[in-house]
Structure 1
Amino acid sequence: MAEKVIKLPDVGEGVAEAELVEWHVKVGDLVREDTVLGAVMTDKATVEIPSPVEGKVTWLGAGIGDMVAVGSALVRLETADGGGEAETPVAAPPVAASPPPAATKKPEHEKAPAVTMTPFHWSGGGAPRPEGEKPVASPAVRLRAREAGVDLRRVHGTGPAGRITHDDLSAFIAQGPGAAVAVGRKPKTNVDEVKVVGLRRRIAEKMALAHAHIPPITYVEEVDVTALEDLRTNLNKKKRDDQPKLTLLPFLVRAIVNAVAAQPGLNGHYDDEAGVVRQHGGVHVGIATQTSGGLMVPVVRHAEARDLWDCAGEITRLSAAARDGTATREELTGSTITITSLGPLGGIVTTPIINYPEVAIVGVNKMMVRPMWNGAAFVPKKMMNLSSSFDHRVVDGYEAAVFVQRLKELLETPALLFMEG
């Protein structure tokens, strides 16, 4: 027999370490060549680690959430003679295999409660009597129960005809305060620890970075999207079979491209260490997308060069790639301004967190039909709020207001979106 040590390979992009986010095997498992052993995450890209040989897992070198250096031992396999090049084991103490990410465990310091909440020895003890049935007890027992705050309907009587005795009441009180809770409801004393790993940890780090660096200003404005929705509906009715269905987002992307042309400082990154705002000529719009693992931001690159249909198709493609985990690192980085939307769950107002190091983010709230006064009567209008946040270090309130008002003008008069220059 021989031993094969599998090390974390160079995952590229100059990465020196990666976070272990998944184990697909445990100690004792038999694996075939190319079996996926686990996965590591760099930035927002997940890389699977396959087995180069057949063998038996004898050691796992990291736990879920651990940072693993490139070139360090990750897995040891016991292989048949000639099953692969035997490498000298790296001198490191064995690390117990971690449970899958979804599993949780109790903290080691957690102690069992001093009193175990177990039912009485009789069947159904402590369950309330049927509605309207009065408990049978002597006046002395009733007085004692009243003083102790005990509902006698919940006390099981062991005396004749189910009479509640002093011993029955004492046994019930000994169960503690939880004995008086409603039927079917028991106090829960467990505390589960869920380790924050993988994409969720990346999100936490990014949010903390944004909160620590950026003093935001949030500007909210309502927009009448009645005409825009009419246009969108008509375009979808007349689209070709090979064209994607239009949502609101491609129109908003076009409006942002138009608006930042007049305010290029909002389409950029603020390097606070260098003290410069890098204004990008290309408009690379991040589309915040909810996935099963957490929030990801795929990027529609060069939105300024895309028409409405091309933009819609790219949003659809990128969103699907983000949700099924096939989006590449390039598709998840490099945005210069971001859109965030929760669709029907969008609420009335939100306070979007800026996608650091960008300086602006546009939040879309839910659309509602509301009665609006046109000067002569109330008419139904499709209204939607935009909640947009800006880095107040480099964007003044006036500049933020000018930008949002331009978006409002473009969305309320959608013909302007198709005008050149």
Structure 2
Amino acid sequence: MGIHVVKMPDIGEGIAEVELVAWNVKPGDEVQEDQVLADVMTDKATVEIPSPVAGQVVSLGGEVGQSLAVGSELIRIEVVGAGNLKAGASPRPAAAAPTPAPAPAPREADREPEPVAAPVAAPVATASRFSSPTAPTAPTRAPGEKPIASPAVRNRAWELGIELQFVHGSGPAGRITHQDLDVYLASRGQPMAARGTGSGYAERHDEEAVPMIGLRKRIAQKMQEAKRRIPHFSYVEEIDVTELEALRAQLNQRYAAERGKLTLLPLLARAVVIALRDFPRLNARFDDEAGVVTQYGAVHLGVAAQTDAGLMVPVLRHAEARDPWGIGAEITRLADAARKGSATREELSGSTITISSLGPLGGIVSTPVINHPEVAIIGVNRIVERPVLRGGAIVARQTMNLSSSFDHRVIDGMDAARFIQAVRALLESPALLFVE
């Protein structure tokens, strides 16, 4: 018998510390070699730490939400024989959670990535996924014992109104999986019933303290820092996208099979790239501590994407060198990687300007927060059909607002307005997007 101390491994890329976002085991659990012990987060990437040995967990080296330095003690495992001891664990990206079958009006992004991000709740799975759903057995947790689940599962349970304390975990060490949530829903019916409220009019007295950890904590810190340091101003303009949508439909009819289907976002991205040629100061990053604005010839376009864990901004590098189909394919790939938790550090950093879109939930006007240290963000609102006066006649036109924010320390209001008007001109005469 011996004690093997698993230390926090070096994840690389200069990372000195990580945040512990989930334990997947507890003291007394038997673990196998390569079984996931914990989930940690660095920047916006979640990494699983596997066990280098088989044995029994003796003690944990920290609490969820705590920062751990590389090389610090993560966990102690009792093993049989010195031959089982290894140097340490090799971190690996968090695996994608199984995707549940959707209920009516599902969120399509959970099954196939869309380039337009929409912050909507995860879909409620129905009993159709299981040939014969059975009621889960009552959990055997001791009073006060916290259920084990990944951040993605916890987030989905919160959105569905499920208390994890009452969900049976079928994973290693009783870890709750997405399938366990599906079984719980299938056996209990609607989320309200699952929470034991009975009637929708019944009084409720339950409350839950949810610690701000992991990606949610990183998002909060970054948004607070951006609003504290950057004097935002926003500019809203209405765009007539009737011709753009007609051209997009024609391109998809002719080229979708060989080049892929175009959405609005790649065409907007192309318009932004072309407009930036005359407004390079907007394609920049501002180091306000050094007092230096760095303008970039390359357009590394951040595309905000909503994931189960929270908002991420994967980066489409060298958008200036891609046509709309190339932009669309890369946005789809990056959005898929972000939602699966497999996006790399490089894919989540280094943007020079950002586009934020809520798709059909985009509302009429928004005030997007600048992705620090950038100086501009383009917010996309939903397309609506409106009556418009053209040539003395009232006609139906498809219109969309762009709600954009700028760093007033770097960008003057006149320059911001001229830039958006340049984007507008390209979108309202979409043939210009293909002329060089």
* Alignment TM class, shorter chain as reference: 0.7 to 0.9
Give the one of 281, 288, 291 matched to 2:304.
Answer: 288
1:412 — aligned with what? Answer: 428
CA offset at residue 83 of structure 1? 4.4
CA offset at residue 26 of structure 1? 1.4
| Residue deviations 1:31-69 (CA, integer Å, cap 9, x gap) | 111111111111112221111111011111111111001
In the superposition, relative to structure 1, how do residues 248 and 61 fare at CA in structure 2: closer, same or farther (>3 Å)?
Answer: same
1:235 — aligned with what? Answer: 251
Unmatched 5+ stretches in structure 2: 88-143, 166-198
Q: Is the 8 A contact 1:32 1:53 kept in 2?
A: yes
Residue correspondence of structure 1 range 163-242 to structure 2 within 5 A: 185-242=201-258
Q: Which amino acid letter does the alignment assign opposite residue 357 of structure 1?
A: P
Q: Is the 8 A contact 1:62 1:97 kept in 2?
A: no
CA offset at residue 324 of structure 1? 1.1
Q: Is the 8 A contact 1:54 1:79 kept in 2?
A: yes
Q: Which amino acid letter does the alignment assign opposite residue 227 of structure 1?
A: E
Rounded to whole Å, the distance in 2 between the matches of 1:86 and 1:363 is 50
Q: Which amino acid letter does the alignment assign opposite residue 70 of structure 1?
A: V
Give the one of 303, 312, 323 matched to 2:339.
Answer: 323
Please report the RMSD computed on the Cα atoms of aligned residues, expressed in angstroms.
Answer: 2.0
Rounded to whole Å, the distance in 2 between the matches of 1:272 and 1:218 is 20
2:365 — aligned with what? Answer: 349
Alignment TM-score, normalising by the size of structure 1: 0.77
2:13 — aligned with what? Answer: 13
| Residue deviations 1:275-302 (CA, integer Å, cap 9, x gap) | 1110011001111000000000111100
Q: Secondary structure of 2:356's partner? A: strand
Is residue 2:317 matched to residue 1:301? yes
Q: Secondary structure of 1:262's partner? A: coil
| Residue deviations 1:142-171 (CA, integer Å, cap 9, x gap) | xxxxxxxxxxxxxxxxxxxxxxxxxxxxxx
4+ residue segments displaced more than 6 Å: 103-106
Rounded to whole Å, the distance in 1 between the matches of 2:300 and 2:261 is 21
Rounded to whole Å, the distance in 2 between the matches of 1:184 and 1:287 is 39
CA offset at residue 242 of structure 1? 3.9
CA offset at residue 397 of structure 1? 0.7
In the superposition, relative to structure 1, how do residues 376 and 10 fare at CA in structure 2: closer, same or farther (>3 Å)?
Answer: same
Q: Secondary structure of 2:38's partner? A: strand
Q: Which amino acid letter does the alignment assign opposite residue 65 of structure 1?
A: G
1:168 — aligned with what? Answer: none
CA offset at residue 98 of structure 1? 6.1
Structure number, greater radius of gyration: 1
Q: Which amino acid letter does the alignment assign opposite residue 403 of structure 1?
A: F
Q: Secondary structure of 1:241's partner? A: helix
Rounded to whole Å, the distance in 2 between the matches of 1:233 and 1:85 is 61
Q: Kindly indicate whether structure 1 or structure 2 has the higher relative contact order, using CA contacts under 8 Å at least 6 residues apart.
A: 2
Give the one of 392, 399, 404 matched to 1:376.
Answer: 392
Rounded to whole Å, the distance in 1 between the matches of 2:315 and 2:258 is 22
| Residue deviations 1:365-388 (CA, integer Å, cap 9, x gap) | 000011100022101100000000
Q: Secondary structure of 2:277's partner? A: helix
Report how many aligned residue pairs link the two structures: 336
| Residue deviations 1:97-146 (CA, integer Å, cap 9, x gap) | 9654539899xxxxxxxxxxxxxxxxxxxxxxxxxxxxxxxxxxxxxxxx
Q: Is the 8 A contact 1:270 1:277 kept in 2?
A: yes
Rounded to whole Å, the distance in 2 between the matches of 1:10 and 1:233 is 49
Q: Is the 8 A contact 2:57 2:77 kept in 1?
A: yes
Q: Is the 8 A contact 2:53 2:86 kept in 1?
A: no
Rounded to whole Å, the distance in 1 between the matches of 2:332 and 2:75 is 38
1:40 — aligned with what? Answer: 40
In the superposition, relative to structure 1, how do residues 237 and 50 fare at CA in structure 2: closer, same or farther (>3 Å)?
Answer: same
Is residue 2:25 matched to residue 1:25? yes
CA offset at residue 243 of structure 1? 1.9
CA offset at residue 403 of structure 1? 0.6
| Residue deviations 1:329-351 (CA, integer Å, cap 9, x gap) | 11111110000000000000000
In the superposition, relative to structure 1, how do residues 184 and 8 fare at CA in structure 2: closer, same or farther (>3 Å)?
Answer: closer
CA offset at residue 240 of structure 1? 4.8
1:127 — aligned with what? Answer: none
CA offset at residue 191 of structure 1? 2.9
2:330 — aligned with what? Answer: 314
| Residue deviations 1:224-281 (CA, integer Å, cap 9, x gap) | 0000000100101111534221001111111111111101110010111111110011
Unmatched 5+ stretches in structure 1: 88-95, 107-182
Rounded to whole Å, the distance in 2 between the matches of 1:263 and 1:22 is 45
Rounded to whole Å, the distance in 2 between the matches of 1:398 and 1:355 is 21
Rounded to whole Å, the distance in 1 between the matches of 2:200 and 2:69 is 50
Q: Is the 8 A contact 1:64 1:98 kept in 2?
A: no
1:70 — aligned with what? Answer: 70
In the superposition, relative to structure 1, how do residues 86 and 261 fare at CA in structure 2: closer, same or farther (>3 Å)?
Answer: closer
Q: Percent identity?
A: 58
Alignment TM-score, normalising by the size of structure 2: 0.74
Rounded to whole Å, the distance in 2 between the matches of 1:287 and 1:185 is 41
Q: Secondary structure of 1:411's partner? A: helix
Is residue 2:272 matched to residue 1:256? yes
